[in-house]
């Protein structure tokens, strides 16, 4: 292929994803007897002389250097971190930084993109071949479009040795650069390099325009190098690694639980058939629809998921579409709707059914007691009303309230400050659109403190992005507008989801140690540390931050991509939200794995779902049990008897319980069956279960149901049109 044709192909993503070595054949490499090979001398950094890496190159037309001399000595210095394994991390970072600057300088000297491609291909040819026995699924680097294998070892002198290979020559070129930077370095030096340090290489166009997947290769290979470096050092020092979180491994052949908690989850994925049939018969006979939240108890979700095959009016989702599903069920002839969730969800279903013209359809909860929510309770507190009172005297103001609040809260709020509801999946767009449409607007978000803090952090990150990057998030904003809105965004300081609170410092530390190269999912409600970790993973294509539906969609997409690659692969996802989601995730993954083409070559894809949470996750088993002070105070203020976790209090481990909402677990299978069997003739027995209509009035004398629905309808208008409704803007102004 001539240079002109190669230049044409270099502009396409397919060329970069898999290109054979065109310019030089790999030279024979003398291999050590072990499975780890010694790099050729051209890749060994000199201590007395920094090799201006790869300058000048035999692929550079102006170069007069012979093929076997790809490096030139340009300076005299030493790398203390390579000479002394215990060197301070600052010195280690300085050593990597010096070599990285040389690498950047080299590629900056290549003006034409095709010359950079040629250079990468040449460095790919210099990497030693990897024995097929080392190219295992365990050695695969997750998150790379091409297949990348990485073998890491620690030599007798305490230096790190890296062996990398890929089925893409361009990717091998990237890996060669990383190997040149880090092979033979002390562990401190490997760990000192940050993924953002590689951004300068992207800035000089090394990866080509629009090549996010190739940027991800840089970052994901580095993250895997660092994770395996930590493991090698721990093994050398005889330090036991942290206990793994429980997990479920899903394959086309079945499900393998790891840990007793996971075993309990797995049992409920295959429910008792007579129980399923009993529920289906009752639903069909009584014309009952079921709307349930993703966070349901796994036993209930297992039965509901199995029953969906026989009765179409069962819907499991996040809170956003539960009421919409109930309306569709009413239109299809359902006479009753059972709501498996917390009370604000049944309130919303009742109110929306009335608004849609179905007041005769009965709506039933699953308990005769209050099914609360820590966020909903926070929004009904005096401190939240004080927060809104402050907003009401600051004009123009908009209150963006999380949908996980009561109808009463929405009504009272709306009379104080113009209000629109939001979900974790649309909150960012809602706030940005409001700032774009109303000049000098002040936005007051609540009640979730973690989500408010995360939104503020996200906008702070956006304030240093380019205008082009910001416009991809919202077309009406730029760096100046983002900076101007930051001081006008407020969030409530005292509202927390008791489940997502568990994803704090301890969990983040363990994820960094044990799961840094896994796919990371996080709900928008998690604490800032978990949010930042997930955002970092998201930047390199390895994470998602959003709603429960966003998390499910992300997992689904990654599994589909793995199946399309048609190679043996193990995908690992850290589930940064309530563990009740596992039923829907497993059902989705099993369906995808089962739909794979059996004639595609027999490639095997396995999917592991990891449940993380801190050791604060404990259970109160008697009045004499002690709880963590923070959670004890929270429990007392919320008047609940249980905190997610296991009786022995060891938190989430191979033998412990995980993030689980005690309120959601009040929706039992026995309660659902009791309600179904009692309808329609024994309604009197179910009076405490019925989601009643609000007969109370707001302070201004209006119906709570009517005013409370307005913020929800404003959100629906925004979702349909991507603009705030004119009525809401008039209220703001």
Contact 117, 222 (CB under 8 A): no
**What is the 3-class SS of 125-193, one letter each residue?**
HHCCCCCHHHCCHHHECCCCCCCEEEEEEECCCCCEEEEEEECCHHHHHHHHHHHHHHCCCCHHHHHHC
Rg value, the chain, Cα = 29
**C-alpha span between 567 and 550 (Å, rounded):** 26
**C-alpha span between 266 and 283 (Å, rounded):** 25
**C-alpha span between 12 and 730 (Å, rounded):** 49
Q: Is 697 helix (H, G, I), strand (E, B) or coil?
A: strand
Q: Is 109 helix (H, G, I), strand (E, B) or coil?
A: coil
Structure tokens at 217: 């290769």
Burial of 433 from C-beta contacts in 10 A (0-12 / 13-18 / 19+) = buried
Helix/strand/coil percentages in the chain, nearest 5? 50, 15, 40
194: number of CA atoms within 13 Å, CB side?
9
**C-alpha span between 454 and 469 (Å, rounded):** 19
Residue 630 CB neighbour total at 10 angstroms: 10
Contact 376, 495 (CB under 8 A): no
Catalytic entry in 144, 422, 676, 709:
144
**C-alpha span between 403 and 345 (Å, rounded):** 9
Q: Which helix (H) or strand (E) holds 522?
A: strand 519-523
Contact 605, 562 (CB under 8 A): yes
**C-alpha span between 551 and 558 (Å, rounded):** 11
Concatenated DSSP letters of 678-714: HTTTTGGGGTTTB-PPP--B-TTS-BHHHHHHHHHHH
Using CA atoms of 54, 60, 66, 68 in order, give the dihedral in degrees to the nearest 10.
Answer: 40
Contact 110, 60 (CB under 8 A): yes
144 is catalytic: yes
Burial of 33 from C-beta contacts in 10 A (0-12 / 13-18 / 19+) = exposed
- Catalytic residue numbers, as ranges: 144
């Amino acid at each position: 292929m001539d240079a002109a044709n190669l230049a044409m192909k270099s502009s396409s993503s397919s060329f970069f994803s898999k290109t054979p070595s065109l310019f030089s054949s790999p030279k024979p490499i003398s291999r050590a007897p072990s499975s780890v090979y010694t790099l050729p001398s051209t890749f060994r950094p000199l201590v007395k002389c920094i090799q201006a890496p790869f300058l000048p190159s035999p692929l550079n037309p102006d170069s007069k250097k012979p093929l076997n001399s790809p490096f030139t000595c340009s300076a005299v210095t030493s790398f203390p971190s390579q000479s002394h394994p215990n060197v301070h991390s600052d010195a280690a970072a300085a050593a990597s930084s010096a070599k990285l600057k040389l690498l950047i300088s080299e590629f900056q000297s290549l003006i034409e993109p095709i010359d950079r491609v040629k250079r990468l291909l040449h460095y790919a040819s210099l990497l030693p071949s990897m024995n097929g026995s080392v190219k295992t699924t365990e050695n695969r680097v997750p998150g790379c479009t091409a297949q990348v294998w990485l073998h890491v070892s620690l030599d007798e002198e305490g230096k790190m040795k890296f062996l990398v290979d890929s089925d893409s020559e361009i990717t091998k070129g990237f890996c060669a650069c990383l190997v040149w930077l880090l092979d033979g370095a002390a562990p401190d030096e490997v760990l000192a390099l940050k993924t953002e340090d590689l951004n300068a290489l992207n800035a000089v166009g090394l990866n080509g325009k629009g090549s996010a997947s190739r940027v991800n290769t840089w970052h994901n290979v580095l993250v895997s190098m660092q994770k395996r470096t930590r493991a090698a050092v721990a093994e050398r020092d005889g330090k036991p690694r942290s206990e793994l979180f429980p997990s479920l491994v899903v394959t086309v052949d079945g499900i393998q639980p790891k840990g007793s908690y996971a075993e309990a989850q797995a049992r409920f994925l295959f429910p008792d058939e007579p129980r399923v049939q009993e529920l289906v018969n009752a639903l069909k006979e009584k014309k009952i629809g079921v709307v349930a939240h993703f966070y349901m108890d796994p036993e209930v979700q297992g039965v509901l998921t199995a029953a969906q095959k026989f009765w179409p009016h069962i819907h499991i989702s996040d809170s956003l579409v539960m009421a919409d599903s109930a309306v569709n069920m009413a239109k299809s002839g359902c006479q009753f709707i059972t709501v498996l969730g917390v009370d604000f969800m049944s309130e919303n279903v009742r109110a929306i059914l009335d608004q849609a013209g179905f007041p005769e359809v009965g709506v039933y909860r699953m308990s005769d007691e209050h099914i609360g929510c820590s966020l909903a309770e926070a929004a009904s507190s005096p401190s939240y009303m004080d927060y809104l009172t402050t907003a009401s005297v600051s004009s123009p103001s908009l209150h963006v309230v999380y949908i996980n609040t009561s109808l009463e809260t929405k009504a009272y709020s709306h009379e104080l400050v113009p209000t629109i509801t939001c979900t974790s999946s649309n909150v960012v767009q809602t706030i940005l659109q409001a700032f774009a449409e109303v000049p000098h607007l002040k936005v007051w978000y609540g009640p979730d403190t973690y989500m408010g803090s995360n939104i503020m952090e996200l906008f702070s990150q956006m304030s240093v992005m380019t205008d082009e990057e910001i416009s991809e998030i919202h077309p009406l904003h730029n760096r100046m507008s983002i900076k101007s809105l930051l001081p006008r965004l407020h969030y409530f300081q005292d509202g927390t989801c008791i489940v997502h609170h568990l994803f704090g410092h301890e969990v983040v530390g363990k994820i960094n140690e044990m799961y840094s190269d896994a796919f990371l999912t996080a709900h928008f409600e998690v604490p800032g540390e978990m949010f930042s970790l997930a955002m970092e993973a998201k930047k390199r294509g390895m994470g998602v931050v959003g709603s429960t539906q966003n998390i499910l969609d992300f997992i689904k997409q990654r599994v589909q991509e793995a199946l399309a690659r048609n190679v043996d692969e193990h995908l690992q996802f850290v589930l940064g939200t309530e563990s009740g989601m596992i039923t829907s995730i497993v059902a989705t993954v099993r369906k995808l794995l089962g739909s794979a083409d059996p004639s595609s070559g027999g490639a095997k894809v396995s999917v592991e779902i990891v449940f993380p949470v801190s050791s604060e996750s404990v259970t109160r088993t008697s009045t004499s049990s002690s709880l963590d002070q923070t959670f004890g105070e929270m429990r007392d203020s919320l008047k609940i008897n249980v905190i997610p976790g296991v009786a022995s209090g060891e938190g989430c481990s191979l033998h412990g319980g995980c993030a689980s909402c005690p309120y959601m677990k009040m929706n039992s299978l026995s309660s659902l069956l009791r309600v179904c069997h009692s309808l329609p003739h024994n309604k009197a027995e179910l009076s405490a279960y019925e989601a009643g209509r609000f007969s109370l009035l707001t302070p201004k004398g209006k119906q709570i149901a009517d005013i409370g629905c307005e913020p929800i309808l404003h959100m629906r208008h925004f979702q349909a049109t991507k603009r705030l409704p004119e009525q809401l803007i008039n209220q703001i102004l």
